[in-house]
Amino acid sequence: MFAKLPHALLIHGPAGVGKLAMAQELSQRLLCEAAGAATAPCGRCEGCRWFSAGTHPDIRWVQPESYRSDDPDASDEEPRSRTKTARPSTDIRVDEVRELSAFLNIGSHRGRRRIALIHPAESMNVHAANSLLKNLEEPPSGAMFILVSHRPARLLATIRSRCVPIPVTLPDAKAARSWLDAQGVPEAARWLAYAGGAPLRAIDYATSESRDELARILKAAVSGDEASLAEVSEREGLERLAEVLQKLALDNAFAASGGRRKYTPESAGVSAGAGRAWLRFARLMGNNRALSRHPLNPRLFAVEMLSAMPRGRN
């Protein structure tokens, strides 16, 4: 079965639905050396042990610096920073992709596939994407590319056309809530809604160190308490505020058009004619989420964001 796999897969879908875990499981299965392990890696052979330790010689991970962790078992789908002061790159750079050529064009150490796992693939800058395209057009024998993407539309069309797509959709809401409850996640229904139905993101929200602060911002946004929303003293708080306002704005736009709220089901109603204004505000908050990572005065920027919020929403 695995001998018939294409040389390039594109696993895509919303963040937090388990795409990366799926890519890891497939990679380990391809490198598993146990005979007859048709459905899952055995976890006991030398190949599986090396994979679990993050030292298997026949797989290369290509990720932005901001996604890397000292923990080889980490499988988060959100970027992380190693220090509070450093701001690692959020791009996959051309040199990192070029290094794949030397790895893919040598023989396999264990006589199986050589795997390049690229996550998230849309993080490649234009030079890195063009470098990868050359490898996809003329793949070395035995090489396999596994691309994981939250936003496949941002990839070059020529890259997408050379990969077999594997869509991973949001799970059924009831099943996701049951799974989160089984994991002991507090307020599972609330955080699942805020995560847009993505269970792994819900876990991130519910267990993060900033959970209480996020809950405070969310409560203030839903109730319209702008004075509390302006109480931001750090850059990390700015990004949380912009995210909450963006999701609230999208929900208000949905509601104004007769749709159902997705992220903030407890919010009050909005007037039917306010949809376009809330959509504009949602786009602005999307831009502000990126801007909030730059050195800014947190309180002044928070006030500026709030001043752009549409009025008369009830």
CA proximity to 236, closest of 90, 85, 88, 89:
85
CA distance 230 to 303: 6
Q: What is the DSSP letter of 310?
A: P
Do 12 and 159 sit in the same domain of this protein?
yes
- Which of 149, 167, 185 terminates a domain? The answer is 167
Q: For the packed helices 94-104 and 126-137, what is the interaxial angle rounded to 10 degrees?
A: 20
Average pLDDT over residues 121-126: 96
Do 149 and 237 sit in the same domain of this protein?
no
Lowest mean pLDDT among 31-40, 114-123, 234-243, 246-255: 31-40
Q: Which residues of 267-283 are buried (b: 16+ CB within 10 A; e: fewer)?
A: beebeeebbebbbebbe
pLDDT > 70 in the chain, percent: 90
CATH number at residue 117: 3.40.50.300
Q: What is the pLDDT of residues 210-254, one digit of tens each?
A: 999 999 999 999 998 999 999 887 878 899 999 999 999 999 999
CA distance 140 to 104: 7
pTM: 0.83
Chain-wide mean pLDDT for the chain? 88
Q: Which residues of 146-169 are buried (b: 16+ CB within 10 A; e: fewer)?
A: bbbbbebeebbeebbebbeebebe
CB of 218 closer than 8 Å to CB of 191 = no
The answer to whether position 38 is within a domain reads: yes
Do 7 and 156 sit in the same domain of this protein?
yes
CA distance 72 to 259: 42
Average pLDDT over residues 161-165: 97
Count: domains in the chain: 2
Domain that holds residue 21: 2-167
CA distance 134 to 111: 24
